[in-house]
Amino acid sequence: MHLDHSHDGPAAVSADARRPDGTRRALRIGLGGPVGSGKTATVAALCRALRDELSLAVVTNDIYTREDAEFLLREAVLPPERITAVETGACPHTAIRDDISANLEAVEDLEDEVGPLDLILVESGGDNLTATFSRGLVDAQIFVIDVAGGDDIPRKGGPGVTTADLLVVNKTDLAPYVGSDLGRMAADAKAQRAELPVVFQSLRAESGVRDVADWVRKQLAAWTA
Amino acid sequence: MTAAATGVRATARIVARDDGRGGTSLPVLEGDGPLALRRTRGSGDEAHVMLVGAMSGPLGGDHFAVRAGVEAGARLRVGSAAATIALPGQAKGEARYDVRLTVADGAELRWLPEQLISAGGSDLRVTTHADLAATARLVLREEQVLGRVGEEPGRLVSRLVVRIEGRTLLDQELDCGPGAPGGWDGPAVLGGHRAVGQAVVVRPEFEDRPVSARVLGEGAAVVPLAGPAALVTAVAPDALRLRRVLDEALKSLG
Amino acid sequence: MSRAALLVLADGRFPAGGHAHSGGAEAAVKAGRVTGAASLEDFCRGRLHTAGRVSAALAAAAVLGVDPVRLDAAADARTPSPALRATARKLGRQLMRAARATWPSSELDALAREFPKGAHQPVVLGLAARAAGLGALDAAYCAAYESVSGPASATVRLLSLDPFDATGVLARLAPELDLVADQAVEAARECVDAGVDALPAASAPLLEISAEAHAAWAVRLFAS
């Protein structure tokens, strides 16, 4: 069998920090959370905030369509070759946790085809509160919930709320209308997460995705250090 | 041709050759027993041959073979005068129909026989091998009809192999009728359809410009193979509708 | 070797991407050809004796040491639908990743280098079985079982079919799985001497045609 000279060796197997050619691969950050909490909007806002300073790409995991990928394409937050959709066979949590093979193919293909990349955002399909990313797929994960989903979500906990590297409570502008108590959500989150950070954001506010983008920059600084 | 208790053995042979004057000659045109061949009026530089079934058949135990070779630069079209009907026979065992086609560089073969009808109680194994040179061209259509009107089909095993310079480009075998492995008439294979067919088109230019895959209605698709060829696969309720969709697809390939 | 490695390789939870594929069941459900346990059984039986039989023989031949590049070309010739060829390579690449992590082997490394975008899944499956110390019959069983377990579990999700009914379908197919695995090994042994033409080429027109239709859908639950 002849060797394919574009590859010095077979692709990395899982979470190896180095690519086959020895260079450091892109930082991979997962965004999970329930349906409608604003994952895709947060990804879009992050792309707009970071695209001028970083080389980045997005992998979406849709449930039964390419809708999230289509949204990002339509919004033109990144050139189309930097956005890939993974199909999940009606089980979005499986594709990010139990069988990450399709997502690993997707992130490696992005690095091969548009690389070198600094950052890849992997967005999960909207799922339930127990869905978390495998450490074999992402280096850090953000869990996105929103105030309209019920202000008792932080109190209820669950792996996403409790263990995500960053918890984002989205749509804070809606709190007065849906009767959510932001103070209580913050206290419950603190109780569940101890020192792990929480960001309250409204993408409609002037600050928008700023706090999350700053957190991502810090992760990236630690990754490349 | 030999006839015995084991059934009829017959081999028909065709060789088509560039006659050097812008036409195609047929230095070999040998029918054998039930397999008669007739040259009909050609068109342009293409010679036309008709397979004329002198007997209905093949019957159980019969072994029929057709060998057609198209030499460099020649053009041949082969059709048949009527559908071939596989029938049960007196002799024991399956009947065989073996077609070997070779097409040399710069030559073209259009192999467009009428349907093969698998009558109730028959047992036929058909093999079609087309061996092509690198710049040969081929249009090959084959259609199987499972049973005459209102009749259960016989057993039919049909294998089609297309090779270019010895490399196998397509290898497909359909096995259906009583005694075939389970599920042949089910939702993964034929789904109750009584007519099934395929058409292969090989052209060197497909190497650089493959056809795009497309679906034609409910029961047919045109696809690029992993080489310079396109395949039309179709299922239909009957022979007429099958022919219509295959011909439409062939026409769309130009 | 440990025979129990077969349980690891054949486990539906082996992380090689299968969960996102329905093996043609989604298209058959949409077309109204699979509507419940009985038609699922008929679908699975047909797939087992066509695509399953071919996959099992390819996998068994890979275990017996037949050149995987030739086997991959034979798989191409037996898979007219480009959508199904792409799916087979995609799943082959995903299986390659899982297998190399599970049973490191220089043969798997070499195949990964030869096919950076993936070889046909049954060929990878055969080499994975070999790397796991399994035999040709084990690989054939694994391929044959996958050809029906995928559609069965997908149909549970697609039709909200009672999972006990779907499992019953698989159990009823067991004797035919035995038969297909045995035939596959026989063909694979023949292939060692006679070349890849000795491999079965059983085709399923509806699987080929509807795979192309399915690949063009804008909305679907499964990748294939």
CATH class belonging to A27-224 = alpha beta
Please indicate, yes or no, if residue B212 is contained in any of the structural domains: no
Residue C27 near chain B (CB below 8 Å): no
Q: CB neighbours (10 Å) of residue C210? A: 27
Largest CA distance in chain A: 66
A177-194 residues labelled b (16+ CB within 10 A) or e (exposed): eeebeeeebeebbeebbe
**For all residues of chain C together, what is the average pLDDT?**
97
Confidence class for position A8, pLDDT limits 50, 70, 90: very low
Taking CA atoms, B87 is separated from A190, B95, C51, C211, in Å, by 82, 9, 29, 34
- The token pair that represents B48 in the structure block: 């036309």
Kindly state whether residue B70 falls inside one of the protein's structural domains: yes
- What is the Cα–Cα distance from A71 to A88, expressed in whole angstroms? 18
Residue B203 has pLDDT above 90, yes or no: yes
Which of C103, C115, C221, C224 to substitute to test the interface with A, most A CBs within 10 Å?
Answer: C221
Number of A/C CB contacts below 8 angstroms equals 91
Quick one: average pLDDT of A91-101? 91
A39 labelled as ligand-binding? yes
Q: Do residues B103 and B133 touch, judged by C-beta distance below 8 A?
A: yes
Q: Tell me, yes or no, whether B48 lies in a domain.
A: yes
- pLDDT tens-place string over residues B115-132: 999 999 999 999 999 999
Does A35 carry a binding-site annotation? yes
pLDDT bin (cut points 50, 70, 90) of residue B92 is: confident
Give the H or E element holding residue B233: strand B229-236
User: Is residue B250 in some structural domain?
Assistant: no
A1/C94 CB distance under 8 A:
no
Residue B89: the pLDDT is 81
Give the DSSP H or E segment for B132.
strand B123-132
Query: Is the predicted pLDDT of residue B6 greater than 80, yes or no?
Result: no
**Neighbouring C-beta atoms of residue C31, cutoff 10 Å:** 16
Token reading at C174: 């067991």
CA-nearest residue of chain B to C32?
A: B187
Give the CB-side neighbour count of residue C33, counting CA atoms within 13 A.
25
**A44 closest CA partner among A21, A33, A60:** A60
Q: By CA distance, what is C217's nearest residue in B?
A: B215
Q: What's residue A14's pLDDT?
A: 61
Count of alpha carbons within 13 angstroms of residue A151, beta-carbon side: 16
> Is C83 an 8 Å CB contact of chain B?
yes
CA distance B166 to A218: 59
Q: From residue A104, give the alpha-carbon distance in Å to each of A118, A134, B28.
A: 16, 11, 60
Residue A2 is predicted with a pLDDT of 41
H-type helices in chain A, by residue range? 39-50, 67-74, 92-93, 101-114, 153-156, 159-163, 175-178, 182-193, 210-224
Map tokens 């007519």 to a residue.
Answer: B195
CA distances from A82 to A14, A55, A56, A75, C3 (A): 21, 10, 7, 13, 44
Query: Can you say whether residue C160 is alpha, beta or left, with left for phi > 0 and alpha for psi between -120 and 50 degrees?
Result: left
Alpha-carbon distance of B187 to B23, in angstroms, equals 48
pLDDT at A11 over 60: no
**CA quadruple C192, B189, B87, B240: dihedral positive or negative?**
negative
Q: Which residues of A touch C110 (CB under 8 A)?
A: 1
Q: Which residues on chain C are in Cβ contact (under 8 Å) with B156?
A: none
C43 touches chain B (CB under 8 A): yes
- If phi > 0 it is left, if psi is from -120 to 50 it is alpha, else beta; for residue B130 that is beta
pLDDT tops 60 at residue A12: no
Cα maximum dimension of chain B? 54
Residue A52: pLDDT over 50: yes
User: Could you tell me the two tokens for C122?
Assistant: 């049954």
Q: Which residue of B128, B165, B168 is the best one to mutate when testing the C interface, meaning the one whose CB has the most C CBs within 10 A?
A: B168
Interior angle at CA A215, CA A214 and CA A218, nearest 5: 90
* The pLDDT of residue A24 is above 70: yes
Contact C45, C38 (CB under 8 A): no
Residue B111, helix vs strand vs coil: strand
Domains by residue range for chain C, with CATH: 5-215 (1.10.4190.10)
φ/ψ of B215, rounded to 5, equals -100, 140
On whether residue B37 sits in a domain, the answer given is yes
3-class DSSP state of A147 = helix
B210 in Cβ contact with B202 (< 8 Å)? no
Q: H or E segment at C205?
A: helix C205-215
Mean pLDDT of chain B: 93
Q: How many of the other CB atoms lie within 10 Å of CB of A219?
A: 18
Q: Is C65 on the interface with A (CB under 8 A)?
A: no
Determine the residue of chain B that is closest to C23 in CA distance.
B188
* Confidence band of A65 (pLDDT split at 50, 70, 90): low
Q: How far apart are the C-alpha atoms of B240 and B234, rounded to whole Å?
A: 12
What are B44-87's pLDDT values in tens digits?
899 999 998 755 678 888 899 999 999 999 999 999 999 999 99
In a domain, B142, yes or no: yes
pLDDT average, residue stretch A156-180: 94
Buried b (16+ CB within 10 A) or exposed e, C91-110: bbbbbbbbbbebbebeebee
How would residue A9 be classed by pLDDT, with cut points 50, 70 and 90? very low
Q: For residue B178, what are the domain limits? A: 2-192
Query: Which residues of chain B from 46 to 105 reach within 8 Å of chain C, CB to CB?
Result: none
Residue A94 CA to chain centroid, in angstroms? Answer: 16
- Dump pLDDT digits (tens) for C28-58: 999 999 999 999 999 999 999 999 999 999 9
B190 touches chain C (CB under 8 A): yes
Q: Is residue B227 part of a domain?
A: no
Q: Residue B118 has what pLDDT?
A: 96
Confidence band for A4, pLDDT divided at 50, 70 and 90 = very low
The average pLDDT across A60-87 equals 86
Which H/E stretch holds residue C141?
helix C136-159
Please determine, for residue A3, whether its predicted confidence score (pLDDT) is greater than 50.
no
Q: Which residues contact B52 (CB under 8 A, 6 or more apart)?
A: B31, B36, B37, B38, B80, B81
Q: Using the predicted structure, report yes or no on whether residue C214 has a pLDDT greater than 90.
A: yes
Asked if the structure places residue B62 within a domain, the reply is yes
Other Cβ atoms less than 10 A from the Cβ of B108: the count is: 21
B4 touches chain C (CB under 8 A): no
Look up residue C129 and give its two tokens.
């079985």
Least confident of A88-92, A98-102, B139-143, C215-219: A88-92
Domain count, chain B: 1
If phi over 0 gives left and psi between -120 and 50 gives alpha, with beta otherwise, what is residue A207?
alpha
